[in-house]
Structure 1
Amino acid sequence: MEHSEPGRAPKPSGGPPLVSGPLPQAVSRLISEVQDVLALVLLPWERDLSTHPSPWSVRTGVRRHLAAAVHPDVLTDVLLVVEELVENAYQHTGSARRLRVDREGCAVRVEVTDGDPAEPVLHLAHPVGPHHHGVLLVHELCHEWGVRPATDGGPGKTVWGVLREHPEC
């Protein structure tokens, strides 16, 4: 590797600079980009639902969080599961508290916590009318799903679903 001017990025022998611009700005930009990628891939995304944010804003947040980290087809399914779980918590419990979306290896985990301990009911027969489709949709789209007691210190439950990014996952 050749030496370069102080404060400038080093150049590999015979090639372009490894980074462009003054070194401090290039390093700062690289750190920012790495933090963004880590936030997308490794860190969970959470949203307080107690203020009853609109389904559009919830979907937008999840989309921004996962867009660069999962296949578009998987993202579509994740957004459907998010919407159904959040809407179910809004409609059937009146006490939605938290949405959490996280990566688990090559899968995506969606969790919605609410203050009602009653478990959702899976209607496998064709539901009549516009209701009772949500849990069936979650059941069909998720590799696995379930309910556990809330672990955030409050009463209630967390309904969760795991979507695989590909069959070998």
Structure 2
Amino acid sequence: MSTTRQHQPGDRGPEPDGAPAAASRVLALYGASGIVPLARDFTRQALHEWGWLPAATADRRAAAEDVLLVVSELVTNACLHAEGPEQLRVACTSKVLRLEVTDRGSGQPAPRTPHRAGRPGGHGMFIVQRLCLDWGVVRTPGVPGKTVWAELAAPA
């Protein structure tokens, strides 16, 4: 988990090279049914709008599949361990795609240690850690819940 950078939910500052701020999409999930497929479909649509899909190369296809897997893991974790997700935010710059899942839970997500590949369940945050450039948790003082964020590299 990141200890070097503090990212607030919804950070939308300009990119270092002066390019415009991130394009973003937000999906309300509170009370929805079929939340994981809904989140994946929403993210897939954003990837189409931003030109990640349809993928022209195997590397671009793999990058899009990684994003969809991380979305699934973050939303599933909120369903299983945090009273359900309230919102999914997907934002993209030319270099990074950022996923944010806001939930009402008080727990602290962490990869299971030691990781046991053959053991069923408990792989979600290990997968997030392996696929992402960085990830972390942001809490707002005095407000219940948290936002779990993850960043993946945009395809070249």
TM-score w.r.t. the length of structure 1 is: 0.66
Structure 1 residue 158 corresponds to structure 2 residue 140: no
CA–CA separation in structure 2 for the residues paired with 1:154 and 1:46: 20
Could you tell me whether the CA contact under 8 Å between 1:115 and 1:154 is conserved in 2? Answer: no
CA–CA separation in structure 2 for the residues paired with 1:52 and 1:105: 31
Runs (4+) off by over 3 Å: none
CA RMSD of aligned residues (A): 2.3
1:125 match: secondary structure:
coil
Structure 1 residue 101 corresponds to structure 2 residue 90: yes
Q: How many residues are treated as equivalent by the alignment?
A: 126
Deviation per CA, 1:103-122, whole angstroms, max 9, x where unpaired? Answer: 13321000101111221121
Unpaired stretches in structure 2, ≥5 consecutive residues = 1-20, 53-59
Could you tell me whether the CA contact under 8 Å between 1:108 and 1:162 is conserved in 2? Answer: yes
- Pick aligned residue for 1:140 from 113, 122, 130: 130
Structure-2 residue corresponding to 1:56: 37
Q: Percent identity?
A: 34
Deviation (angstroms), 1:75: 1.1
CA–CA separation in structure 2 for the residues paired with 1:111 and 1:150: 14
Could you tell me whether the CA contact under 8 Å between 1:113 and 1:150 is conserved in 2? Answer: no
2:23 match: secondary structure:
coil
TM-score w.r.t. the length of structure 2 is: 0.71
CA–CA separation in structure 2 for the residues paired with 1:105 and 1:154: 32
**Rg larger for:** 1
Which of the pair has the greater relative contact order for Cα pairs under 8 Å at 6+ separation?
2
